[in-house]
Structure 1
Amino acid sequence: MSELRFTLTDVAGVRFGVSPANETVMSLWALAEPARYPVHLPWTDRARATLRRPEVAGRVRPLVELTLPRRWLPDFLTPAARPGVEMPEQLDQIAATPPDVVVRDLLATAPSRPLRPFGRALLADPAGLLPQLVEALRVWYDEAIAPDWPRMRALLDADVAYRAAQLAEGGTGKLFERLHPSLRWLGDRVVSDDPFERDFDLRGRGLALNPSVFTHQRVLWNLLEDSMPAGAYPVRAVGTLWERGPEPAGDALARVVGGGRAALLHLLDAATTTTDLARLTGLSAGNVSQHLAALHAAGLVVRSRAGRHVLYRNTEVGAALLRAARGG
């Protein structure tokens, strides 16, 4: 069990971000043990074929050796994400990791499993071999993550909007109690039911929270005395990530309300913003707004405001229509 102790400054410093570096690193867990990540099988099938290509396998091997299943990750590989951060910026941040931090983080993983050859070499020459690891991370992102990143990013951004609304409406306690079943809020601390046994004082630095597609069992903490505290938690609605959108020609609902509006109804089981709907469907924001206005006028969706965001969700009528179209 771990405990994270908060001051009032830390409570005010809880913030959200999306980390492409985290997703790139953690995706290799799903690739190595696909049976534990069945929801991602459409992706793992493609990613395995990518990793079998000789020109990819050799360049990615350093990263693969450091991300074996059931191994603790070196914390410098999963930096806390600021809002709007992109992969090139995170690669630069990782490349600038001081050698002593690389060594410290590698040694911290040793209790879980011994280091593989590249890990041992990196431990002996962190300054010389860190660029090779950063290149492996860049190649894997470009080859395996970037083609699906708009879809992943839309799901992650939608979760951020949802959690930010929870925080604004119910405060820190409500946020953590609903973030994951393993977490409890005790007024001035978060208690995490995990095997890590950490007792950590945030000391006014706040906490960066990153939803993750490839984190599925518990919240993973990045807690070091000299860096930004962070936690990666399982994203909501991950089961929708690889669903194909409804085909207008073959979908009964699409024939009634139109392909674009049917696509939106399929995505509005959870509250979602116009921006996220545009990313998920590939429609322009203007088209999404027009479709939502028509669905709202018909009583099929409802809208609510959460801070600066307007969220849309199916009404009971819209949900019933959707169930009928799905054969339920």
Structure 2
Amino acid sequence: MVVRYQLVGQDLGGVRFAISPLNELVLSLHAWRDPGRYPLQLPWVREMRRVRDRLDAELLFALVNDDLWTPDFLTPRPWSPLTRLEDELAAIRGTSPGIVDRDLRLLRGPGELPVPLRGPGVLDRIVAALTGYWELCFAPHWPRMRALLEGDVTFRGREIAQHGLAAMLAGLAGRVRLTGDTVEIHPRSRLEYTRPAADGLTLVPSMWTSSAATPIHPDEPPMIIYLARGLGTLWEPQPLPAPGALAGLLGAHRAGLLVQLATPASSSELAARLGVTPSAVNQHLRALRAGGLLVSARHGRAVLYRRSDLADRLIGH
């Protein structure tokens, strides 16, 4: 089976990359059905199972079928590498009841829908379940996940610059190729359709696919979801390298944190990245901030830390 997207004229310049928190959230439900397909994600899967009783697990489980498909309306095409979950959830709240019903029935096949997916207000219940799932299972790790996805986008952009669009597409799970003006995708499913990509083709890296995937319904905007590079290192504790003189002055852990905080991060993100407890990280962050080497600002529910100008000059020397 094959899905074809036809690029015509300016459409070749309409190939773009984007990152979708909502896509990752929904596609991660595959691991509920078949965790054996995601051996590199087992540390996360084990953690997820510990909080399962605090989630609307019955509804979430119903959003994945035996073929590991999920409803198209829950995996909308993102437009930017900087897409926010809040914006995506706001968009799907506006999905028409007809589209919701179409996609759920396409997912579940003939017959009655599972009980959690029946009745009025099903879209609101789905959004609420996904929100709770995000807060418990994704939010503490999302900065680390996003960094991996952004790294993949950077790599693919370099591939286009050095080797061209066709070579980059051929490297997406080995199931995508550009033939003339047509992008052909061979997903591991029974999908087959051809459609023009007059409004562009979006490439979305993911941690939750084993091959290239496309929307189920041919009316959905052209999109290819593919496996991001570097997944094997996602859950490995990262080292804290630091210049020797700086480590001698501040201690290895605090010097390493300063090096890491060239870009803002929260204490929970740092703890997940380094494989330590948040309390251990907070102790060092408080000391560095008290010494004038960090500044902090609240961003939503999290407090983000970054190096101060003084710390930048210290590391520069």
**What TM-score comes out, normalization by structure 1 length?**
0.71
- Report whether the alignment pairs 1:152 with 2:145: yes
CA contact (8 A) 1:72 1:109 kept: yes
CA contact (8 A) 2:186 2:212 kept: no
Counterpart in 1 of 2:154? Answer: 161
Q: Distance in 1 between matches of 2:230 and 2:312?
A: 21
Counterpart in 1 of 2:79? Answer: 82
Structure with the higher helix share, 1 or 2: 1
- 1:221 Cα deviation after fit: 0.4
Counterpart in 1 of 2:194? Answer: 200
- Report whether the alignment pairs 1:106 with 2:104: yes
Structure 2 residue matching 1:221: 3-state secondary structure: coil
CA contact (8 A) 1:67 1:73 kept: yes
Q: Distance in 1 between matches of 2:171 and 2:109?
A: 31
Q: What are the superposed Cα offsets for residues 257-296 of structure 1, whole Å, 9 maximum, x if unpaired?
A: x679999xxx9xxxxxx869998678759879997x89xx
Counterpart in 1 of 2:69? Answer: 72
Structure 2 residue matching 1:210: 3-state secondary structure: strand
Structure 1 residue matching 2:5: 3-state secondary structure: strand
Change (3 A) 1:284 1:230: farther
Change (3 A) 1:169 1:223: farther
- Report whether the alignment pairs 1:8 with 2:5: no
Q: What are the superposed Cα offsets for residues 129-177 of structure 1, whole Å, 9 maximum, x if unpaired?
A: 2111111111101111111101101101111111122223333212201
Higher deviation after alignment, 197-206 or 145-154 = 197-206
Q: What are the superposed Cα offsets for residues 16-75 of structure 1, whole Å, 9 maximum, x if unpaired?
A: 111111111111212332222111111011100011x3xx23x34322211245232110
- 1:188 Cα deviation after fit: 1.4
Structure 1 residue matching 2:139: 3-state secondary structure: helix
Structure 1 residue matching 2:202: 3-state secondary structure: strand
Change (3 A) 1:284 1:155: farther
CA contact (8 A) 2:17 2:202 kept: yes
Counterpart in 2 of 1:190? Answer: 183
Q: Distance in 1 between matches of 2:95 and 2:50?
A: 32
CA contact (8 A) 2:17 2:204 kept: yes
Please, which of 143, 149, 170 is the counterpart of residue 177 of structure 1?
170
CA contact (8 A) 2:65 2:107 kept: no
Structure 2 residue matching 1:200: 3-state secondary structure: strand
Change (3 A) 1:135 1:288: farther
Please, which of 225, 228, 235 is the counterpart of residue 221 of structure 2?
228
Aligned residue pairs total 270
Change (3 A) 1:140 1:113: farther
CA contact (8 A) 2:33 2:68 kept: no
- 1:10 Cα deviation after fit: 2.3
- 1:204 Cα deviation after fit: 0.9
Structure 1 residue matching 2:83: 3-state secondary structure: coil
Identity of aligned residues (%): 32
CA contact (8 A) 2:18 2:202 kept: yes
Counterpart in 2 of 1:297? Answer: none
Change (3 A) 1:261 1:70: farther
CA contact (8 A) 1:66 1:115 kept: no
Change (3 A) 1:172 1:233: same
Q: Distance in 2 between matches of 1:6 and 1:196?
A: 23
CA contact (8 A) 2:32 2:61 kept: no
Counterpart in 2 of 1:300? Answer: none
Change (3 A) 1:70 1:183: same
Change (3 A) 1:230 1:203: closer
Change (3 A) 1:81 1:288: farther
CA RMSD of aligned residues (A): 3.5
Q: Distance in 2 between matches of 1:97 and 1:159?
A: 30
- 1:88 Cα deviation after fit: 0.8
- Report whether the alignment pairs 1:35 with 2:36: yes
- 1:192 Cα deviation after fit: 2.1
Change (3 A) 1:67 1:144: same
- 1:228 Cα deviation after fit: 2.6
The gaps in structure 2 that reach 5 residues or longer are 275-304
CA contact (8 A) 2:20 2:78 kept: yes
Which runs of structure 2 are paired with 1:204-215 in the superposition (5 Å)? Answer: 204-215=198-209
Counterpart in 2 of 1:314? Answer: none
Change (3 A) 1:284 1:176: farther
Which runs of structure 2 are paired with 1:126-145 in the superposition (5 Å)? Answer: 128-145=121-138
